[in-house]
Structure 1
Amino acid sequence: MLFANDTEEGLRSAAALVNTEDGEQLPDADALERFARDWNWSGNLALDEAELDAVRNLRPRLRSLWSGDEDAVVDTVNALLREFNALPQLVRHDSWDYHIHATPLEAPLSARMAVEAAMAFVDLIRSKELGRLRTCAAEDCTNVLVDLSKNRSRRFCESGCGNRAAVAAYRARLAERAEASA
């Protein structure tokens, strides 16, 4: 683990939320509920159109954090923390040991998502690790990812792009060998 567990989860969930934009993977409140459950979001869930719209509207702001421009990332992080009145506090709940929450559990889901992402990015910025933010290396994919590997080698998102690239490379080698032996 490179960062505290809540930082890594905040980064991963921010990337996952950004990646729901492609092909609109949050078409309705049921999809939002599944996403919140899959990413273990605790607290209040309104699951209405207003909440769905607020979460969808957060995605482009979070995507901008993958820009690579440290000053722009800092500006966005600070804006999110100010906008949602972040007040960091240590909490322990469910199966989690002490970690930081900066919004109350009653805050709207979009506010909690924004602040959790911003708090995770604070650690990334302070550690000078923005280089761990990437866009998927697959030519036909615009998903973002966070490379938390020790050797900084992750190139593909979690949508199967790495497998597709490996299969394509394998088939290309087979074709090349067949051509060479013919």
Structure 2
Amino acid sequence: MSLQSAVVLANTALEPDTLTTIEELDDFFTSYEYSGRHERTLEELEQVRALRPVLRALMLAERDDAVEMVNTMLADAGAVPRLVRHEPYDWHIHACDPDADLVTRLTVETAMAMIDVIRTDEMSRLGVCADDDCDGIVLDLSRNRSRRFCSTTCGNRNAVAAYRARQSDTA
């Protein structure tokens, strides 16, 4: 879930920007079931917004570059993995204190998720949307690695364009 939320967070920076208010940050925080401190301030919102290009760069980096980025993120945050349990989850890993600021927790959780992507050599699961007019990040968790678009909107737009092209060819 941390990797999916990081992709969604990075993609909020696309036009139109969908992370411009504290309410939108609240919705993101709630939707991805984050726990811990959430200040609900403009300063926190701006810090999260500033994190988006960092997450994008990490998820689109080459494997060895991603390793360096992950190690730096974890070191800078003073990450110390430990097992925790809280509702609605059984034992799982948190690598920073729940009182750490939201940006630190988002950074560390994304870095921890990327460890598995890097370790299993699955960087190809992350890429850029196949829509020519979109730069969204795609997280392809499909069995056959067939996901090409960042959203249903981009997929539908391309399906309609392909249909229209086929129709004009037969006309």
- Note whether the superposition's TM-score is higher than 0.5: yes
Q: What is the match of residue 120 of structure 2?
A: 127
Normalised to the residue count of structure 2, the TM-score between the two structures is 0.94
In the TM superposition, structure 1's runs of 4+ consecutive aligned residues that sit over 3 Å from their partners are none
Sort the Cα spacing of 1:110 and 1:159 in 2 relative to 1 into closer, same or farther, 3 A: farther
Q: What is the match of residue 4 of structure 1?
A: none
Q: What is the match of residue 90 of structure 2?
A: 97
Unaligned runs of at least 5 residues, structure 2 = none
User: How far has the Cα of 1:171 moved from its partner?
Assistant: 1.6
Specify which of 2, 5, 10 is matched with residue 2 of structure 2: 10
Q: Does 1:24 pair with 2:22?
A: no
Q: Does 1:148 pair with 2:141?
A: yes
Specify which of 106, 111, 117 is matched with residue 113 of structure 1: 106
How many residues are matched? 170
- Give the partner amino acid of 1:14: A
- Counting aligned pairs with the same residue, the percent is 46
User: How far has the Cα of 1:66 moved from its partner?
Assistant: 2.9
Q: What is the match of residue 61 of structure 1?
A: 54
Structure with greater contact order relative to length (CA < 8 Å, sep ≥ 6): 1
Backbone CA RMSD of aligned residues: 1.2
> In the alignment, is the contact (CA less than 8 A) between 1:15 and 1:144 conserved in 2?
yes
Deviations 1:59-95 (A, max 9, x none): 1111111334112111111111011111111122112
Greater CA drift, 73-82 or 96-105: 96-105
Distance in 2 separating the partners of 1:158 and 1:40:
21
After TM superposition, list the pairs within 5 Å mapping 1:162-181 onto structure 2. 162-178=155-171
Q: Which has the larger radius of gyration?
A: 1
Unaligned runs of at least 5 residues, structure 1 = 1-8
Deviations 1:107-162 (A, max 9, x none): 11111100000000001100011111110000000100211111111100125111
Distance in 1 separating the partners of 2:169 and 2:152:
28
Q: Report SS of the residue matched to 1:53.
A: helix
- Give the partner amino acid of 1:111: T
Q: Report SS of the residue matched to 2:34.
A: coil
Greater CA drift, 136-145 or 155-164: 155-164
Q: Report SS of the residue matched to 2:93.
A: strand
Normalised to the residue count of structure 1, the TM-score between the two structures is 0.89
Q: What is the match of residue 72 of structure 1?
A: 65
- Give the partner amino acid of 1:73: A
